[in-house]
Amino acid sequence: MNEWPEGRGDRRDDGYGHGSAQAQPEGARRMPHVQRRQPGLPQQPQRPTQPPVPPRPGRRPAPQVPPQQGARHDADGYDSGYNTGQVYGTPQRGPQRPGGPGGPAGGGPGGPGRPAAAPDWGRRIKVGSIALVSVLLVTAIGTYVWADSKVRREVDLSKVIERPKDDDCTTYLIVGSDSREGLTEEDKKKLHTGSADGKRTDSMMILAACSGGTTMISLPRDSDVEIPSFVGSQSGKKFPAQGRRTKLNAAYAEDGPELLVRTVEHNTGLRIDHYAEIGFAGFANIVDALGGVDMNIEKAFKDEKSGADFQAGEQTLNGEQALAFVRTRYAFAESDLARTKNQQKFLATLANQAATPGTLLNPFTLYPVLGAGLDTLIVDKDMSLFDIGEMFFAMKGITGGSGTSMNMPIAGERGGNLVWDKAKLQQIVKQIQNDEKVTVTGN
């Protein structure tokens, strides 16, 4: 009985892998992939080949799938399932063919016969720039939030009454106090600050930042002033004016920054927009965080009370030396007037060295400076970090030649207190209120 499907058994082709009409099956030599049937086991008949299904009317016939590359086929297109031994994915020499390595089927990015595309450097630079800007923005915002949280906004200028008219200039009252807050007993001894309780003003300056120029005016603490009517910063009670005259620093000792601002405004006619105060510890720490401040001391001087001992010439002052420099008064014949000049000179130099790219763009310098200064800096409740920055840049302008620094013009003394020159004072106030460059000279 012929077990081959119909139409196959009558063929006399002895080709490899095809049926034969011979009585005996082909040997293993001709068909090595066909194994001999073991004796005693019935031979399994092969499943007849299903005839092709004709396409339905109106439907296109299915496309003929080409035989797999490398497979062996008989004359009727029958796939034996065995290839020619070619290993796919192995690079071949010679021109590439579609579907080979480098072509679409081979995964090559360039397509058939095309090299790989060059990197898109423009896109990479754009993405890198966006990432860098994002990091800088996040860092800047984080720094601002951190620094803003350290500012001590403890002065309420809304409690100041009967204020002068506002003008286009931004006017700051900068106060250096003798507060020992944050100093250990060892620090007090090293800095020659003493151990007095409370705090008093050690220096006072008006800084007027105008488009016509920046003006810094030192107010001697022994200035003769009138204490006006005021509202107590703690009690809220209004105290009437009594025509009482005293030293300027007594106003601070009596009722703090609010009464000091009220007294300065009443005796000068200038409106104070912002208040900033720093104590001994903060001052010395800022200088040390900057790595010192370079100063040119014109004349050597020594003072046992402040600890000052300086030679003439260029030198770098650390925090201890800087504090001694701005506090010395007994070594000079002009006493407090000479000291205020040194204070102006040092603050302008400090601001000039602090407000530089080397400090502002270097986190290893910027963060210590901000931390040292903001911890002890006391400002009014409306003063932002932007305002603090403007104040320092205004002080920097003093050394840049675009500003003017002076002591309040003095006309004489009254009971040991320094009396201001009213005529010159009125001219100064008028020029500041008109946003003009101050041309008046002081002591």
Query: What local confidence, expressed as pLDDT, does residue 183 receive?
Result: 67
Share above pLDDT 70 across residues of the chain, in percent, rounded to a whole number: 69
DSSP secondary-structure letter at 354?
Answer: H
Alpha helices in 103-193 (DSSP H): 121-150, 185-191
Which of 403, 314, 279 shows the shortest CA–CA distance to 351?
Answer: 403
- How confident is residue 194, by pLDDT bands cut at 50, 70 and 90? low
> What mean pLDDT value characterizes the chain?
78
Local confidence band at 90 (pLDDT 50, 70, 90 cut-offs) = very low
Alpha-carbon Rg for the chain in angstroms: 47
Pick the residue with more confidence: 429 or 97?
Answer: 429
CB atoms within 10 A of CB 385: 17
Q: For residue range 149-192, list pLDDT tens digits in order.
A: 888 999 999 999 999 999 889 999 999 887 666 667 776 676 76
Q: Is the pLDDT of residue 12 over 50?
A: no
User: CA–CA separation, 325 vs 295, rounded Å?
Assistant: 10
pLDDT, tens only, 285-323 = 889 988 999 999 989 999 888 888 999 999 999 999 999
Ranked by mean pLDDT, which of 21-30, 120-129, 194-203, 236-245 comes out on top? 236-245
Q: Pick the closest to residue 72 from 86, 84, 62 (CA basis).
A: 84
More confident residue, 360 or 430: 430
Work out the pLDDT band at 272, boundaries 50, 70, 90: very high
pLDDT the model gives residue 329: 85
User: What is the average per-residue pLDDT within 62-89?
Assistant: 51
Residue count (the chain): 443
- pLDDT(254) > 60: yes
